[in-house]
């Protein structure tokens, strides 16, 4: 009888116990643009080594998705966005510190390995036989892509609007699409070939980052922001294909 | 059937009530937030109608394909025994529990243009599933057919095989006996399975965007349209959600307990 009672209690309370586990460390919630996922994962490891009682949770998605979540009240300690517009949108809802520039990035054309459609430059993206992948209107990479293409007067043959940059990379790396425009940093680890965009046509993308001043963990959040621009942080960003701010 | 059940104890009823509330809360929250003044405009705009039309066409095609291949599959799984049957069943049902994105990526690597098999389609016919409505249908069949197979197979296992045997002994062909004797006896499960498969296909998102892409008119289904709107125009996304809930709800209610329950009548 007693063991039945214990079993019933276990079943009834189990989910709550499991959900509440591991609360003895401080959790720092860092939201970052998808393109930063590799760099921030490396930084998480390094930061947690130096701060053993801190559990850094890095949440990556397109900057527009994250800004939307912040506006909707998501718990956030640090936000690193791939464009100023989405940062400003989030900063309207949450009292962030004045942002600093985390890193800069440029754009590059990616093609499947071996470049089957022989794409050589931005002009080729208008060809009928070149299927071009990009992202939906709100994702920063799309805005930069449109700005870049407009400046050179190219109407690209878009066939899909992905939810984020990794969607573009997947469509190109699997050979479904023939080309796409992504950040230079996305090349690290991607199974694609790159076609450089001449510096005169290219854009410099800067990433604003800031700590949430109203968070109960604001001090820790500021330490993370400082860490990203420390020597170690910059080395990680460099290794992940970003340029210094 | 006139089987009568005893009423469940109070504790069970209380827990069931909590479950019902849990399922209702999200809808109440959505309906409360929905900008009703815009709903008609959103339902009428060309993008939503295009997405709804695409979702309808692809999900109905996916449900029909699921019946064409899924019923024979369920028939084989339910009535024959061969080495590795459980493995085959697990392989055929795994996409039910897989994250849809994983399904989409697997489809890309197999049926995508550079995929193991998809490359032949491209070489021979210059055809690729990705970026076409066929890709949407393939993704939907992949995630939806298991719902039909599972439902029909369990009904076939419970069906009395003696009726079909009697038909066979009187000279009916296996197809004839299945069509005229077995299938009618599992009609409710067949309909329930088809509807479940259709509903899963209608709501499909992850495998579709991963495998087929997202382009208005060809691959942007209503669920993708809803997701895309969420960032640019949340009010529109809510109106579209109401549309999806409405369509699904109407279909499920139309089928009622009679089809979706275990044959119980009131």
Burial of A227 (0-12, 13-18, 19+ CB in 10 A): middle
pLDDT of residue B161: 82
CA angle B208, B36, A88 (to 5 degrees): 65
State the residue for tokens 């003895």: A24
User: Is the same domain home to A110 and A199?
Assistant: yes
d(CA B226, CA B240): 6
d(CA B261, CA B257): 5
pLDDT of residue B148: 96
User: Is the same domain home to A40 and A153?
Assistant: no
CA angle A196, A197, A199 (to 5 degrees): 115
Which of A64, A131, A162 is closest, CB to CB, to B214? A162
Which of B113, B219, B231 is closest, CB to CB, to A64? B231
User: Is the same domain home to A158 and A189?
Assistant: yes
Domain count, chain A: 2
Burial of A65 (0-12, 13-18, 19+ CB in 10 A): buried
Mean pLDDT of successive 10-residue stretches along chain B, which has 266 residues: 74 95 93 90 91 96 97 93 91 92 94 91 91 96 96 91 85 87 88 93 95 94 92 89 89 69 46
pLDDT of residue A23: 57
CATH of the domain at A224: 3.40.190.10
Q: Nearest CA of chain B to the CA of A49: how many Å?
A: 32
Domain layout of chain B by residue ranges: 39-260
Question: pTM of the predicted model, to two decimals?
Answer: 0.81
- B130 to chain A, any CB pair closer than 8 A? The answer is yes
Domain presence at residue A244: no
* Residue pairs between chains A and B whose CB atoms are closer than 8 Å: 62
Question: Taking all residues of chain A, what is their mean pLDDT, rounded to a whole number?
Answer: 90
**CA torsion A227→A233→A234→A240, rounded to 10°?**
-140
User: Is the same domain home to A93 and A9?
Assistant: yes
pLDDT of residue B160: 82
Fold adopted by B39-260: MetI-like fold (1.10.3720)
Q: What residues contact B116, with CB distance under 8 A and at least 6 apart?
A: B109, B110
Domain span holding position A121: 105-204
Q: What is the mean pLDDT of residues A177-192?
A: 93
User: Is the same domain home to A6 and A67?
Assistant: yes
Q: Nearest CA of chain B to the CA of A231: how many Å?
A: 36
- B81 to chain A, any CB pair closer than 8 A? The answer is no
Joined together, the tokens standing for residue B121 give: 């389609």
User: How far does Cα A80 stand from its chain's mean position?
Assistant: 8
pLDDT of residue B114: 87
d(CA B227, CA B144): 20
CB-based contact A180:A201 (threshold 8 Å): no
User: Is the same domain home to A98 and A21?
Assistant: yes
User: Is the same domain home to A116 and A157?
Assistant: yes
d(CA A60, CA A43): 14
Joined together, the tokens standing for residue B169 give: 């002994």
CB-based contact B197:B62 (threshold 8 Å): yes
Which of A68, A174, A177 is closest, CB to CB, to B231? A68
Q: Nearest CA of chain B to the CA of A134: how many Å?
A: 10
- B51 to chain A, any CB pair closer than 8 A? The answer is no
Q: B195-231 burial by CB neighbour count: b if 16+ within 10 A, else e?
A: bbbbbbbbbbbbbbbbbbbbeeebbbbbbbbbbbbbb
The number of beta carbons lying within 10 Å of the beta carbon of residue B2 is 4
CB-based contact B190:B155 (threshold 8 Å): yes
Which residue, among A61, A134, A160, would best test binding to B if mutated, counting the most B CBs under 10 Å from its CB? A160
Which tens digit of pLDDT belongs to each residue from A26-68? 899 999 998 898 899 999 999 999 998 999 999 999 898 999 9
Domain presence at residue A245: no
User: Is the same domain home to A155 and A72?
Assistant: no
């Amino acid at each position: 009888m007693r063991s039945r009672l214990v079993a019933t209690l276990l079943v009834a309370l189990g989910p709550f116990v499991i959900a509440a586990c591991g609360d003895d460390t401080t959790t720092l919630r860092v939201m970052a643009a998808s393109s930063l996922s590799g760099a921030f994962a490396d930084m998480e490891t390094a930061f947690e080594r130096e701060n053993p009682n801190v559990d850094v949770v890095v949440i990556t998605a397109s900057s527009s998705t994250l800004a939307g979540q912040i506006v909707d009240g998501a718990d956030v300690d640090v936000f690193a966005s791939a464009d100023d517009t989405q940062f400003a949108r989030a900063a309207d809802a949450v009292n962030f510190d004045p942002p600093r520039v985390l890193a800069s990035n440029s754009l590059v054309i990616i093609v499947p390995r071996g470049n089957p459609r022989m794409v050589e430059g931005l002009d080729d993206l208008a060809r009928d036989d070149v299927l071009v992948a990009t992202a939906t209107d709100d994702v920063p990479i799309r805005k930069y892509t449109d700005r870049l293409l407009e400046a050179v007067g190219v109407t690209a043959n878009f066939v899909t609007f992905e939810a984020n940059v990794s969607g573009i990379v997947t469509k190109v790396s699997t050979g479904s699409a023939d080309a796409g425009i992504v950040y230079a940093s996305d090349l690290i680890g991607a199974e694609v070939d790159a076609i450089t965009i001449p510096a005169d046509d290219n854009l410099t993308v800067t990433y604003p980052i800031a700590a949430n001043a109203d968070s109960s963990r604001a001090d820790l959040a500021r330490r993370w922001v400082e860490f990203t621009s420390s020597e170690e942080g910059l080395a990680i960003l460099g290794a992940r294909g970003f340029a210094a701010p | 059937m006139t089987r009568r059940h005893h009423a469940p104890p109070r504790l069970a009823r209380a827990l069931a009530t909590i479950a019902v509330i849990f399922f209702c809360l999200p809808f109440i929250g959505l309906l409360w937030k929905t900008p009703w003044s815009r709903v008609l405009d959103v339902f009428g705009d060309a993008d939503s109608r295009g997405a709804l039309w695409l979702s309808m066409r692809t999900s109905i095609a996916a449900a029909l394909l699921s019946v064409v291949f899924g019923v024979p599959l369920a028939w084989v799984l339910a009535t024959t025994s061969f080495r590795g049957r459980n493995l085959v069943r697990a392989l055929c049902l795994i996409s039910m529990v897989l994250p849809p994105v994983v399904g989409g990526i697997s489809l890309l690597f197999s049926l995508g243009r550079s995929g193991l098999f998809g490359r032949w389609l491209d070489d021979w016919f210059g055809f690729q599933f990705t970026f076409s409505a066929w890709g949407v249908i393939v993704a939907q069949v992949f995630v939806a057919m298991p719902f039909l197979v599972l439902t029909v197979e369990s009904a076939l296992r419970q069906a009395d095989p003696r009726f079909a045997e009697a038909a066979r002994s009187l000279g009916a062909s296996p197809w004839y006996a299945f069509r005229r004797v077995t299938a009618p006896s599992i009609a409710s499960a067949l309909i329930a399975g088809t509807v479940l498969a259709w509903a899963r296909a209608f709501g499909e998102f992850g495998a579709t965007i991963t495998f087929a892409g997202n382009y208005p008119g060809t691959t942007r289904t209503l669920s993708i349209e809803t997701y895309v709107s969420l960032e640019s125009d949340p009010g529109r996304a809510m109106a579209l959600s109401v549309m999806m809930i409405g369509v699904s709800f109407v279909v499920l209610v139309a089928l009622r307990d009679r089809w979706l329950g275990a044959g119980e009548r009131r």
